[in-house]
Amino acid sequence: MPLSLWEILLQQVINGLILGSFYALVALGYSMVYGIIKLLNFAHGDIYMVGAFICLTAFGVISSVIGGVPGVMLSILAAMIFCAALGFFIQRIAYKPLFDAPRLSLLITAIGVSLVVSNAVMVQTNSRFLFFTSGLDNAAGFRFGEIRITYVQIVLVLITAFLMVGLHRFISRTMWGKAMRAISSDMDTCRLMGINVNAVIGLTFIIGSALAAVAGGMACVYYGNVHFSMGYIIGMKAFTSAVIGGIGSIPGAMLGGLLLGLLEAIGTHFFGSAWKDVFAFVILIVMLIFKPTGLLGKTEIERM
């Protein structure tokens, strides 16, 4: 029985929320780093890719002892810890020496770091696709007429919502979060007031990298395969999400990621999967032309 238009739209909204969850989690790292040091960290998508590989590797070890949902959760936790350490290491080695350098130097360094990470994984995996078998039933779930919602989809959306709310509360209610917001406004004044700017920046990279690892782990479970190039395209999509929402804005990154996922899922259904990436970047171009600050972004005033 063919689906009605409303059933098609609702099914694509469900698919879009899943896709948007991945975009939003990675976009949060982009926005956090840009908000503090004005760096477009193009290596962030590769952190997501590394997180997927670590999740796969960890589950291969853990599953012999603990399988199913606990094994998957422990594998994602292992990916979070590894990627948090990797993000901090990259920040300390590659970015920290250039904090006072021109922004272009940081941008070029970020591109270089991205190439180093992706090519290192490419060499380790011989450019092969690796497949993830979690043992979970990805088809089990609810059915409303012809509309399907799986348990895995529900859990992924709930995890994303929990992390988004938790990050928002951390940024808005804790001393570390207040320090992040203060540094994003005026780093030099924060130094004069005794705030350990380097420690806060390091924490920002740790949190952003851990969130990207969660997205990578969830993608590993949901799609069932990983590849060294998977970080590039989602990095670009996450950057697009951050721009749509207003780069530097945490709520904007959340909104932008979910919105891009929804628009991409609906657009792909009506225009075909071959136009998926084109559709996403057309949205980026339109946003930059008509509202370059994004939906929730603010116009910055340069201090002389």
pLDDT (0 to 100) of residue 170: 93
Contacts with 148 (C-beta within 8 Å, 6 or more apart), sequence order: 11, 141, 142
What is the pLDDT at residue 11? 84
Summarised one tens digit per residue, pLDDT across range 103-131 is 888 889 999 999 999 999 999 999 899 98
Amino acid 299: pLDDT: 62
Running along the chain, 304 residues long, what does each successive block of 10 average in pLDDT?
Answer: 72 88 91 87 93 93 82 93 96 91 89 94 92 76 78 88 91 91 88 90 94 93 90 89 87 90 84 78 86 77 50
**Cβ(33)–Cβ(204) under 8 Å?**
yes
What is the model's pLDDT at position 112?
Answer: 94
Please give the structure tokens belonging to residue 124.
Answer: 């380790």
Domains located in the chain, CATH noted: 5-140+147-290 (1.10.3470)
8 neighbors 146 (Cβ within 8 angstroms): no
Q: Give me the phi and psi of 146, to 5 degrees please.
A: -100, 5
Tell me the pTM: 0.90
Q: Which residues of 12-41 are buried (b: 16+ CB within 10 A; e: fewer)?
A: bebbbbbbbbbbbbbbbbbbbbbbbbebbb
| pLDDT computed for residue 304 by the predictor | 45
The span from the CA of 189 to the CA of 176, in Å, is 16
Closest CA to 106 of 89, 91, 118, 87: 91
Instruction: Please tell me the total number of residues recorded for the chain in this structure.
Output: 304
Q: CA distances (Å), 214 to each of 160, 207, 211, 237, in order? A: 9, 11, 5, 17
Tokens coding 156: 């992924």
**Cα–Cα dist 82/27, whole Å:** 19
